[in-house]
């Protein structure tokens, strides 16, 4: 378990940059903590009219990158929260491989995103809500842990699942009503 001991709310990234993430003093950093950060990214995406999915990537040294869904805003069908987070971290670390990292995402990743996690060599995936229609980590497909590919990912689902799912349901309920 990581511990951040900071006097402010700035989390230093591995590349030396910093991001304003809600880090209290002192705090034991757990899966729930990082999922809270992913939820904040998802809420920001919802405010922009995007499907509220957020992701945070954490390495051995702590926070690396975070993003919310942005395919509408960026006119890019690949601009899922997971992909944008991987791009940010890869750029910051100057490496397309991201071993020994954990990706926290509020919704079970799709096939495209699971493929990107395999290519990046992510060590661990932690997701909130399951996606019974397109989930590619456990619900529909088991990419990343079925032994068929050249890399396996440790996968843990259901972290803050109710909150992650409630955010998605509320977003789509509002969208259907409007």
pLDDT tens over the chain, length 178 residues: 343 333 333 333 344 444 444 433 344 579 999 999 999 999 999 999 999 999 999 999 899 999 999 999 999 999 999 999 999 999 999 999 999 999 999 999 999 999 999 999 999 999 999 999 999 999 999 999 989 999 999 999 999 999 999 999 999 999 888 7
Burial class (CB in 10 A: 0-12, 13-18, 19+), 178: exposed
Q: Reply yes or no on whether 82 is catalytic.
A: yes
CA–CA separation, 138 vs 125, rounded Å? 11
Q: What is the DSSP string of 69-99?
A: --HHHHT-TT--HHHHHHHHHHHHHT-S--T
Q: Which helix (H) or strand (E) holds 170?
A: helix 161-177
Rg (CA), the chain: 15
Q: Check 82, 91, 108, 154 and give the catalytic one.
A: 82
Q: Give the total residue count for the chain.
A: 178
pTM: 0.85
């Amino acid at each position: 378990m990581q511990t951040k001991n900071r006097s402010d709310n700035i989390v230093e990234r591995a590349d030396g940059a910093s991001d304003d993430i809600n880090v209290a003093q002192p705090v034991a950093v757990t899966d729930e903590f990082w999922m809270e950060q992913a939820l904040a990214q998802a809420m920001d995406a919802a405010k922009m009219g995007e499907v509220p999915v957020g992701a945070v990537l954490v390495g051995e040294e702590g926070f690396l990158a975070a993003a919310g869904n942005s395919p509408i805003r960026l006119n890019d069908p690949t601009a899922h929260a997971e992909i944008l987070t991987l791009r940010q971290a890869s750029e910051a670390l100057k490496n397309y491989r991201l071993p020994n990292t954990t990706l926290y995402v509020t919704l079970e990743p799709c096939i495209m995103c699971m493929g990107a996690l395999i290519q990046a060599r992510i060590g661990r995936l932690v997701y909130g809500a399951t996606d019974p229609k397109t989930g590619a980590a456990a619900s529909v497909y088991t990419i990343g842990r079925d032994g068929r590919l050249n890399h396996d990912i440790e996968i843990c689902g259901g972290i803050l699942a109710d909150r992650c799912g409630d955010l998605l349901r509320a977003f789509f309920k509002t969208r259907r009503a409007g």
